[in-house]
């Protein structure tokens, strides 16, 4: 392991025990289901206590978080570090990529093992572990791509879900014809395998055959520049595939997670599917589509336009970013990732004269949280609890890392962000920590960023100074049969609410109809750090998991003031919500 030379005073992982203790004082703790004014005590990489008047051993380092929010570290469930694709290799490796993640407040990433067609999935998995294990600055897990189909692939999927490998999710591609794409028959087989293994199926939803044909026609018509990319794959091409993926998932009785949803049409297709089918459907979107738009493909500079090429593409409809933010707020979408897959100018130039050869991918792992805060919380569309849900807690639940990750609570890993809602900065490639020489959010002013980032108890962003340690992160095994996806695995696990009737669409899969109602006064209170705390969280409706004996706080008779009665502190109201969380909106 090496320590970042920029500022670290720590000389390795064997830090003396007093240095393993940390108290974050006077902040407002934000989880997906509530906020409270509380101190957080951390020891040996674990959150030991959350509350007031804590008894702390001498020699403990104290961070004053007055006026700041103390949140679970972000989880970016979609990165591609050191990915070889389209004749190039993405330039953010597992060191630079996770370092940038930490700088932006993300403390766990989930990367994708993507085997070549015909390659053993296990061999590809081992390659990924070899690339990542010695380099990661924060914890990471792996999804595995099912890029071809055969009985041996089915076998290897099963092996990968064993404890030895710890994989619980597989990504299938409906695009990238002749590379990673599966046909519908193969996709159904892969989804059935996921159901049998109680793993989570993910799809890249775009119609690869239509794209291939449109590319031929555009090139023949002389359209060779980056503007050809979005023209070859419009919203309909994404929405059709979302619909088809949902139909196939229903046939396979498989829960489904649709990665990088980039358009209003695709969200609509997902919502329609939720009204008619039973296995849960999750939607992920990207920082890219919240923070920028498809107008950049018309930029005369090849470098600029090509830097924005990703799939599905940014959309020309200027109302898309706002619609995506609203979909995240109202639980039409559950997760925001980055799909960080960065290529230098020389790599993007592989597609000069033929847009189909531009390596696909953009940055986002560092700026994901600040971009969403700026576009969603500062505008009053989302409250801080929902921000935590979509940037961290929901991914932890869906990929079975909860509550080890995604929560500030005694017993959880000490992955914590002290978020300064007033910190102002301008995003730029000149100052970002990523390896890539371009930033798609260049010049954007954001208000709200991390001041401290604690990774497994180690202060890795220290009052704005980045002090990561290469290799400090560890691989996280993700067990299958996630209770938030598949229901009840073990005796003693909290029961799901009553199962849905086969005739009535389950609320678990139905949109709650965009019922967020931003309360700007309350939001200002959150940010001003007033001493009286209330949950203040958006409450998308839906079926949720409940701990035994817990009241159902979705019930309309619930009142914050009644909850306050009987609590022994006036400044800290702990709203005890189901583990699904009032604003996580998953169930
Ligand atoms: O353009 C993208 N999204 N590049 C990364 C590969 C993928 O499809 O996720
Ligand atoms: Zn994809
Ligand atoms: Zn991706």
pLDDT for res 352: 98
Choosing from 145, 232, 341 the residue with most ligand 1 atoms within 8 A of its CB, the one to mutate for a pocket test is: 341
- DSSP assignment, residue 355? G
Question: What's the CA-to-centroid distance between 91 and ligand 1, angstroms?
Answer: 14
pLDDT for res 310: 98
pLDDT in tens, 301-334: 999 999 999 999 999 999 999 999 999 999 999 9
pLDDT in tens, 327-367: 999 999 999 999 999 999 999 999 999 999 999 999 999 99
pLDDT confidence tier of residue 473, bands split at 50, 70 and 90: very high
Neighbour count for residue 189 (Cβ, 10 Å): 20
The alpha carbon of 503 is separated from its chain's Cα centroid by a whole number of angstroms, namely 33
Choosing from 79, 180, 260, 266 the residue with most ligand 1 atoms within 8 A of its CB, the one to mutate for a pocket test is: 260
Is the Cβ–Cβ distance between 459 and 452 less than 8 Å? yes
- DSSP assignment, residue 507? G
pLDDT in tens, 533-558: 233 344 343 333 322 222 222 222 22
Average pLDDT, the chain: 85
Contacts of 218 (CB under 8 A, 6+ apart): 228, 231, 232, 355
**Residue found under tokens 């101190």:** 39
pLDDT for res 3: 52
Question: Using CA of residue 335, residue 504, residue 242, residue 318, what is the dihedral sign?
Answer: negative
Distances (CA, A) of 187 to 147, 192, 481: 10, 9, 20
**Taking the model in full, what pTM does it have?**
0.86
pLDDT confidence tier of residue 19, bands split at 50, 70 and 90: confident
Residue 8 or residue 397, greater confidence: 397
**Dist CA 360 CA 343 (whole Å):** 8
Contacts of 413 (CB under 8 A, 6+ apart): 45, 46, 47, 139, 404, 405, 456
What's the rounded mean pLDDT across residues 33-48? Answer: 98
Is the Cβ–Cβ distance between 516 and 560 less than 8 Å? no
pLDDT over threshold 80, residue 561: no
How many Cα atoms sit within 13 Å of 466 on the Cβ side? 22
314 lines ligand 1 (CB under 6 A): no
pLDDT confidence tier of residue 18, bands split at 50, 70 and 90: low
Is the Cβ–Cβ distance between 73 and 395 less than 8 Å? no
341 lines ligand 1 (CB under 6 A): yes
Ligand 2 is an ion; its neighbours by CB within 5 Å are 204
What's the rounded mean pLDDT across residues 116-125? Answer: 98
Q: Is 147 exposed, middle or buried (0-12, 13-18, 19+ CB in 10 A)?
A: buried
**Dist CA 70 CA 57 (whole Å):** 21
pLDDT over threshold 80, residue 53: yes
DSSP letters, 474-491, are: -BPP--SS-HHHH---ST
Distances (CA, A) of 16 to 4, 10, 24, 205: 19, 10, 19, 49
The alpha carbon of 265 is separated from its chain's Cα centroid by a whole number of angstroms, namely 21
């Amino acid at each position: 392991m090496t320590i970042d030379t920029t500022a670290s005073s720590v000389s390795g992982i064997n830090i003396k025990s007093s240095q393993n203790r940390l108290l974050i004082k006077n902040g407002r703790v934000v989880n997906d289901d509530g906020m409270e004014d509380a101190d957080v005590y951390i020891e040996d990489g674990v959150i030991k206590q959350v509350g007031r008047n804590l008894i702390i051993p001498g020699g403990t380092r104290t961070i004053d978080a007055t006026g700041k929010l103390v949140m679970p570290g972000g989880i970016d469930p979609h990165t591609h570090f050191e990915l070889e694709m389209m004749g190039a290799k993405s330039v953010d490796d597992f060191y630079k990529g996770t370092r940038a993640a930490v700088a932006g407040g993300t403390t766990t990433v989930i990367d994708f093992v993507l085997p070549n067609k015909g390659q053993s999935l296990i061999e590809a998995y081992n390659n990924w572990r070899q690339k990542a294990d010695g380099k990661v600055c924060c914890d990471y897990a792996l999804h595995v791509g099912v890029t071809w189909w055969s009985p041996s692939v089915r076998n290897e999927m099963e092996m990968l879900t064993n404890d030895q490998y710890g994989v619980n999710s597989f990504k299938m591609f409906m695009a990238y014809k002749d590379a990673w794409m599966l046909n519908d028959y193969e996709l159904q087989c892969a989804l059935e395998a996921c159901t049998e293994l109680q793993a989570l199926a993910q799809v890249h939803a775009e119609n690869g055959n239509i794209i291939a044909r449109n590319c031929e026609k555009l090139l023949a018509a002389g359209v060779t520049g980056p503007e050809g990319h979005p023209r070859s794959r419009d919203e309909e091409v994404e929405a059709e595939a979302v619909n088809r993926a949902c139909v196939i998932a229903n046939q396979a009785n498989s829960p489904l997670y649709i990665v990088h949803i980039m358009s209003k049409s695709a969200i609509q297709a997902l919502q329609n599917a939720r009204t008619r089918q039973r296995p849960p459907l999750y939607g992920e979107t990207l920082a890219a589509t919240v923070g920028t738009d498809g107008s950049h493909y018309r930029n005369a500079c090849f470098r600029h336009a090509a830097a924005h090429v990703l799939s599905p593409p940014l959309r020309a409809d200027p109302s898309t970013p706002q619609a995506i933010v609203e979909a995240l707020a109202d639980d039409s979408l559950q997760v925001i990732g980055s799909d960080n897959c960065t290529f230098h100018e020389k790599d993007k130039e592989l597609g000069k004269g033929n847009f189909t050869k531009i390596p696909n991918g953009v940055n986002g792992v560092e700026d994901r949280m600040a971009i969403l805060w700026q576009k969603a919380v500062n505008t009053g569309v989302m409250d801080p609890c929902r921000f935590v849900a979509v940037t961290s807690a929901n991914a932890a639940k869906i990929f079975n890392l909860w509550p080890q990750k995604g929560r500030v609570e005694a017993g959880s890993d000490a992955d914590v962000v002290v978020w300064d809602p007033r910190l102002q900065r301008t995003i730029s490639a000149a100052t970002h920590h990523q390896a890539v020489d371009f930033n798609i959010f260049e010049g954007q002013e954001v208000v709200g960023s991390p001041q401290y980032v604690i990774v497994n108890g180690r202060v890795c962003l220290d009052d704005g100074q980045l002090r990561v340690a290469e290799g400090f992160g560890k691989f996280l095994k993700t067990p299958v049969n996630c209770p938030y996806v598949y229901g009840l695995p073990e005796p003693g696990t909290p029961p799901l609410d009553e199962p849905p009737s086969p005739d009535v669409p389950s609320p678990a899969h139905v949109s709650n109809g965009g019922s967020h109602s931003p309360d700007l006064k309350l939001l200002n209170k959150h940010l001003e750090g007033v001493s009286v705390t209330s949950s203040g969280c958006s409450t998308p409706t839906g079926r949720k998991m409940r701990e035994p004996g817990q009241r159902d706080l979705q019930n309309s008779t619930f009142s914050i003031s009644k909850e306050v009665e009987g609590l022994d502190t006036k400044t800290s109201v702990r709203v005890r919500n189901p583990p699904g969380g009032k604003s996580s909106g998953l169930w």
